[in-house]
Structure 1
């Protein structure tokens, strides 16, 4: 057995993933961890698996890729004995969209270890399944209000994939993620790649924010041409919006900060500058103090760990690990994606 194959186990028989005309599937990667503010990536991946026809294709070895001491698995204790353990997972599923078109979804916990070997394994599987293009999903905290639609930024090696989606517009040096490395390395090997980064209100980055997940799914459909369901996420987002509004109402200080963010958002969206960016150097972004410990503490304490009703079921996702790769809940100011 070659070295890279020790990182995953293929299902047998392997599900059919070729299109009706023999075309290869899109590979979507949606890894939780570093760039998953508002659990938007995890919610999007779960929604795709649960709302569409899905078959397991491959399971990666958590023992090879995950540092259990940086994000310890959760054990269940009955009071007398340990009865269960929730181990991290990283899998590839073959999923068919509403029109029956297959695509691959790589989702689960971001690897801590052996990134290059992991990416090489993903490339080998992409070669095996004749993948046509590669699209990554990310979610980042930004200085935006929850009262406005989620925004998104696109990046990647193939401009034709990105269409009219907004770009960053300026060079950056940023901390890496396994998702970013997949995008880079597969582009180096000739795959058309794209990345979609949805923006999440920074004060809700530790809560579950399905509105951002819905935007990811909509943008993924735009980039790939896949016919993907989004109604359940939109319904969940509406419920979360009502909950947050009720928590904000009556707190003058919190309302004033949200109002300031609304003014900034509206000024940006009405701008006619062609390459305007929320990260542009001349934008007047609120400081961390201005956005405030009170707003973040108030809303995070109220919403962190809440279940989200998606597809008619109550779901609870694990918190991000608190290791060195955890996302900073404060908004980026030009040095992070």
Structure 2
């Protein structure tokens, strides 16, 4: 079993997660707090836990990982007393897809502290459960219109894992985060690792964006051969798009800006074939500093608990 068991507890009984053929489970890591534009990461974790058969099997000691003063949990006040506390969690659930195939779901807050201890614990647990692949999730705000298909950038330890997906080309640096570190460390320990960063319209990055959740769930299913439900997500995405479009219609300024963004996006898509740029408008890829600046700007807009403002 894992060497860092002091950082978490196993919740018995732990089910056998291997398939009938002896194949181990995929581990999906959906940690909130870094690049969760459109609350997409939180939305994926909630959707998978609530729409499928799930069982809590590992609970991490959040006191070891979370800086409460940088991301203060919410306390609920009712008239004359404090009535509740939104206790942060970092957990692993054993989940069964629609066909009964088991996979692991790591969800909760991204650790602020002890990144090495945390990643080693997750990798040791993944090995103990015989994980055959890891899939990480991210969501980045970009200048893309909500009226066009939602896209995501794929990345992996082995390019063969993401054949048929689209990768962001070039070399640059982004702020460190546990999700990307896990993807790197998994590969170093012999576990094939991949990840998807969904593109969320900048002007909608501070509210729940169902289309981003739908995109990530679809990508997880495709790369891992899992059968995951998407019906409710498709309906929510369609309704949300219709609501936003109706609101934009009442604002000439915003409508003009979105129409310009649509034109840039469409022009780019027409010339995309054979191109390695994913930047709508066909502009040169941003530098590492520019990408880092966009991340920092986005993170600065987060609330004190690390979650996007639902306003």
TM-score normalised according to structure 2 size: 0.89
Hey, what's the Cα distance between the residues in 2 that align with 1:235 and 1:96? 23
Q: Which residue of 2 aligns with 1:69?
A: 69
Q: Is the 8 A contact 2:2 2:128 kept in 1?
A: no
Q: Which residue of 1 aligns with 2:203?
A: 203
Q: Deviations over 1:29-65 (max 9, x none)?
A: 0111111100011101110111111111101111111
Q: Is the 8 A contact 2:74 2:85 kept in 1?
A: yes
Matched, 1:141 2:141: yes
Three-state SS of the structure 1 residue aligned to 2:271 is coil
Deviation at 1:2, TM superposition (A): 8.1
Q: Which residue of 2 aligns with 1:241?
A: 241
CA RMSD of aligned residues (A): 2.2
Cα gap change, 1:211 to 1:282, in 2 (>3 Å): closer
Aligned 1:186-201 pairs, distance under 5 A: 186-201=186-201
Q: Deviations over 1:301-336 (max 9, x none)?
A: xxxxxxxxxxxxxxxxxx94448x889xxxxxxxxx
Deviation at 1:77, TM superposition (A): 1.8
TM-score normalised according to structure 1 size: 0.83
Deviation at 1:86, TM superposition (A): 0.3
Aligned residues: 294
Q: Which residue of 1 aligns with 2:292?
A: none
Q: Deviations over 1:157-193 (max 9, x none)?
A: 0222212100111111111111000001111111110
Unaligned runs of 5+ in 2: 286-300
Cα gap change, 1:272 to 1:284, in 2 (>3 Å): closer
Cα gap change, 1:2 to 1:163, in 2 (>3 Å): closer
Three-state SS of the structure 1 residue aligned to 2:38 is helix
Aligned 1:160-179 pairs, distance under 5 A: 160-179=160-179
Hey, what's the Cα distance between the residues in 2 that align with 1:159 and 1:189? 17
Deviation at 1:282, TM superposition (A): 5.8
Hey, what's the Cα distance between the residues in 2 that align with 1:3 and 1:72? 30
Three-state SS of the structure 1 residue aligned to 2:22 is coil
Matched, 1:274 2:274: yes
Cα gap change, 1:281 to 1:238, in 2 (>3 Å): closer
Three-state SS of the structure 1 residue aligned to 2:59 is strand
Three-state SS of the structure 1 residue aligned to 2:58 is strand
Hey, what's the Cα distance between the residues in 2 that align with 1:31 and 1:174? 17
Aligned 1:1-337 pairs, distance under 5 A: 4-279=4-279, 283=283, 320-322=302-304
Cα gap change, 1:181 to 1:18, in 2 (>3 Å): same
Q: Which moved more, 1:261-270 or 1:86-95?
A: 261-270
Q: Is the 8 A contact 2:92 2:104 kept in 1?
A: yes
Unaligned runs of 5+ in 1: 286-318, 328-337
Q: Is the 8 A contact 2:58 2:91 kept in 1?
A: yes
